[in-house]
Amino acid sequence: MSEVAITTRSRGVARLARKNPLLAWGALVAAALIVVALAAPLIAPHPQDAGSTMHPAATLQSPSRAHPFGTDMYGRDELSRVVYGARVSLSVAGLVLIIAVAIGVPLGIAAGYFGGVVDNIIMRVTDVFLAFPALLLSLALVSVLGPSVRNAVLAISVTWWPWYTRLARGQAASVRGRQFIESCRALGVPRFRMLWRHVLPNSVTPLIVQVSLDAGGVILTAAALSFLGLGAQDPTPEWGLMVSQGQDFFTTQWWLVTFPGIAILITAMAFNLMGDGLREVLDPKRVLTR
Amino acid sequence: MLEVRALHVVFESVHAVDGVSLTLPAGPFGLGIVGESGSGKTTIARAVMRLIPLAGGSVLLDGHDVFRLRGGALRAYRRAVQIVFQDADSTLDPRMRVGPAIREALRVHRVVSRDEFGHRVDELLEEVGLESATSSRFPHELSGGQRQRVAIARALAVEPRTLILDEPTSALDVTVQARILRLIAELREKRQLAYFLISHNLAVVQQLCEEAAVLYLGQVIEQGPTGQLLSSPAHPYTRALRSAVPEIDIADRRARVVVPGIVPDPAHPPAGCRFNPRCPFVVQRCREETPLLRRLWAEHSVACHRAEELNPVLVSHGGRGQDALGQTPDNLGSIF
């Protein structure tokens, strides 16, 4: 019985991959990135180079067998730093999205389900946050809080949650009109339970898609902040920071910009492909706007 | 005893329900509410369940105004009165398995202690004729009839005295319909249920209800013991409804009445009697003066100016000895 279930499931995955190669590739690459991040100490040839070590004798070496991605201006192995960079980028994305979902979704669900005054108050506050250009607000916040990875996470989260409020509100408002909600009200299901057990589970599909799409966006934003010197600080191996540091040497030491740049590109693309694919698989009819 | 008094419900200036009064005594008792779509049947159901605001009138359970209940008293009302909707397809949460859906009813109203939930869910499923394995299914994995049984089990989980059955079978195949109706007949006796049975199908009402009220454009136009209402309808509209149901009409083929036209726009109901544009017996008075629901004899009321002249035999007999209260329960078994 369970064997049958497993074979049908794996067959299902295979069929899904054939039908939706973008999703399959996106998910595969995203999974590989997570593995790289988790296993960074095993994969990186020189784990200590992710920190503040210096090798004055080996600065700015071009890619070689010993240093496939070359070395930076402090002589640190670029490959090791790119590998460790996956940890930074993925955890920033994960944290930002957890915060954004944790704040945005409950507010949106409440606004959409209750409507009226509750909806008005929540959505006007949300509008205030949306009125600022996201990157500008993040920049302003970081320049007040001081540049660090933690503050970059906070700053990006502050600009990110309102989108989840909007999306969750729209979902909850449409779920509210469905008959099973009315039958739950007739049964006397309490409000909190209604939201948690009925409205949320029926609103969750587009939220999952959005989280996947946004992972790439958050990584790009974090890289942008670091590039501008307002995110991670040396010696943190952050891809945006590495590109920023490498740009002074770009004309002669191309590898310093190229490899972290490619890492950003691949990561952002993988999550975007996965999100697009998920959207198609989970609900072919729905068109998301963002 | 559940009472609806002078109920008014307004949707965007349309009087969906316009002064309806109904009384449902303690069970086992069935009160059928019959009417075409747009007559306000479902609106009455939703109002009784306190799902929509009233524009006027009241709903009373044992004399207490339901719309004034708060907190524990409201919870008690929800336990006492439950509803089964027309389309079980959409009344069950698509993301919740059958077991948790029924358990939710037990949990919300603390019907039994937590460790008895599983056992009680099985009992309820058995009571509505489903296997206990059904509890691990999602609604979309069930047939329409099974889903309706689940909806009934969920409503029964809180042990209500009164049910609102809002077209419980009209979304189902004919054979499945008959089984669900039989289930309702069984449960009614076993649990001593009183219910409003909302239907556009007179045959269904005849099977399951001692009394029936006919609704037209948000108003009760005729009400009485089901047997009497069907054997000697006093309102032209009831006659037309009856003759649309072949099983009931066999003895009376020649008198088949076809109502011309369709239900008028409820936003602009006709002046006078609301049925007058479609009534074959219309006279000038019908266009000017709104007929009130008045007692014709015994338990039988009608809202028609010409009821007596159109039904001379019935009036002279004064009730004709058709005791539906005694008659209907015997009928319950025989019709299936």
pLDDT given for residue A268 in this prediction: 93
Please report where in the chains the tokens 């959207």 appear, as a residue: A279
pLDDT given for residue B297 in this prediction: 79
Which of chain B's residues have a Cβ under 8 Å away from the Cβ of A179? Answer: 85, 87, 90-91
**Which residues are CB-neighbours of B192 under 8 A, at least 6 positions away?**
B26, B27, B28, B161
Of the listed ranges B143-152, B189-198, B253-262, B327-336, the least confidently predicted one is B327-336
- Average pLDDT for residues B237-244, to the nearest whole number? 82
Name which of A183, A190, A197 is nearest B85 (Cβ-Cβ): A183
Residue of B140, B154, B146 lying closest to B107 (CA atoms): B154
| CA distance readout (Å), A282 to A213, A256, B117 | 14, 40, 33
Name which of A188, A190, A198 is nearest B93 (Cβ-Cβ): A198
Closest CA of chain B from A181, distance in Å: 8
Measured between CA atoms, the residue of chain A closest to residue B151 is A183
Residue B1 has pLDDT above 90, yes or no: no
Quick one: CA dihedral B223, B229, B235, B236, positive or negative? positive
**Which helix (H) or strand (E) element contains residue B23?**
strand B14-24
pLDDT given for residue B329 in this prediction: 38
pLDDT given for residue B174 in this prediction: 84
Pairing assessment for the beta strands B211-216 and B194-199 based on DSSP bridges: unpaired
Measured between CA atoms, the residue of chain B closest to residue A186 is B49
Q: What is the dihedral of CA B294, B295, B299, B301, to 10 degrees?
A: -40
- Average pLDDT for residues B111-138, to the nearest whole number? 92
Beta-carbon separation of B90 and A179 below 8 A: yes
pLDDT given for residue A271 in this prediction: 93
- Average pLDDT for residues B74-85, to the nearest whole number? 93
Which of chain B's residues have a Cβ under 8 Å away from the Cβ of A183? Answer: 83, 85, 91-92, 151
Closest CA of chain A from B158, distance in Å: 9
Residue A3 has pLDDT above 70, yes or no: no
Residue A277 has pLDDT above 80, yes or no: yes
Phi/psi for B46 (5° steps) reads: -70, -35
Closest CA of chain A from B96, distance in Å: 8
Residue of B70, B125, B135 lying closest to B101 (CA atoms): B135
What domains can you pick out in chain A, each with its CATH number?
Answer: 85-282 (1.10.3720.10)
Scanning B133-275, the segments in alpha helix (DSSP H) are 144-156, 174-191, 202-208, 226-231, 236-243, 246-249
Closest CA of chain A from B82, distance in Å: 7
Mind giving me the DSSP string for B253-292? GGG-----S-PPPTTSPPSSSTTGGG-TT--HHHHHSPPP
Residue B69 has pLDDT above 60, yes or no: yes
**Which helix (H) or strand (E) element contains residue B317?**
helix B312-317
Name which of B82, B87, B95 is nearest A201 (Cβ-Cβ): B95
Count CB pairs under 8 A between chains A and B.
Answer: 60
Beta-carbon separation of A187 and B105 below 8 A: yes
pLDDT given for residue A261 in this prediction: 94
- Average pLDDT for residues A81-93, to the nearest whole number? 93
This model of the complex carries an ipTM of 0.81
Name which of A178, A180, A182 is nearest B51 (Cβ-Cβ): A182
Of the listed ranges A164-173, B11-20, B183-192, the least confidently predicted one is B11-20
A182 touches B: beta carbon within 8 Å:
yes
Which of chain A's residues have a Cβ under 8 Å away from the Cβ of B158? Answer: 187-188
Of the listed ranges A82-86, B5-9, B182-186, B324-328, the least confidently predicted one is B324-328
Q: Percent helix, strand and coil across chain B, each rounded to 5? A: 45, 20, 35
Closest CA of chain B from A251, distance in Å: 57
Question: Is A137 in contact with A144 (CB distance < 8 Å)?
Answer: no
Of the two residues A276 and A287, the one the predictor is more confident about is A276
Closest CA of chain A from B121, distance in Å: 16
Measured between CA atoms, the residue of chain B closest to residue A198 is B93
Distance CA B145, CA A118 (A): 39
**Which residues are CB-neighbours of B319 under 8 A, at least 6 positions away?**
B228, B297, B298, B300
pLDDT given for residue B161 in this prediction: 93
**Which residues are CB-neighbours of B122 under 8 A, at least 6 positions away?**
B132, B135
Chain A interface mutation, best of B51, B81, B82, B93, highest count of A Cβ atoms under 10 Å: B93
Residue B285 has pLDDT above 90, yes or no: no
Residue A166 has pLDDT above 80, yes or no: yes
Chain B interface mutation, best of A175, A180, A204, highest count of B Cβ atoms under 10 Å: A180
Structure confidence by residue, pLDDT tens digits, A35-69? 999 999 999 888 888 888 888 888 888 888 888 89
Of the two residues A271 and A66, the one the predictor is more confident about is A271
Measured between CA atoms, the residue of chain A closest to residue B107 is A189
A191 touches B: beta carbon within 8 Å:
no
Domain locations in chain B as residue ranges:
226-334
For residue A262, how far is the Cα from the chain centroid? 17
Structure tokens belonging to residue A172: 């909850």
Measured between CA atoms, the residue of chain B closest to residue A188 is B78
pLDDT given for residue B79 in this prediction: 92
Of the listed ranges A12-21, A131-140, A196-205, B25-34, the least confidently predicted one is A12-21
Residue B97 has pLDDT above 60, yes or no: yes
Of the two residues B310 and A33, the one the predictor is more confident about is A33
Chain A interface mutation, best of B95, B98, B158, highest count of A Cβ atoms under 10 Å: B95
pLDDT given for residue B256 in this prediction: 57
Residue B328 has pLDDT above 60, yes or no: no
Distance CA B237, CA A157 (A): 65
Structure confidence by residue, pLDDT tens digits, B257-279? 666 677 777 778 888 888 888 88
For residue A58, how far is the Cα from the chain centroid? 35
pLDDT given for residue B220 in this prediction: 92
Which of chain A's residues have a Cβ under 8 Å away from the Cβ of B154? Answer: 187
Please report where in the chains the tokens 């708060």 appear, as a residue: B70
Name which of B49, B75, B90 is nearest A180 (Cβ-Cβ): B90
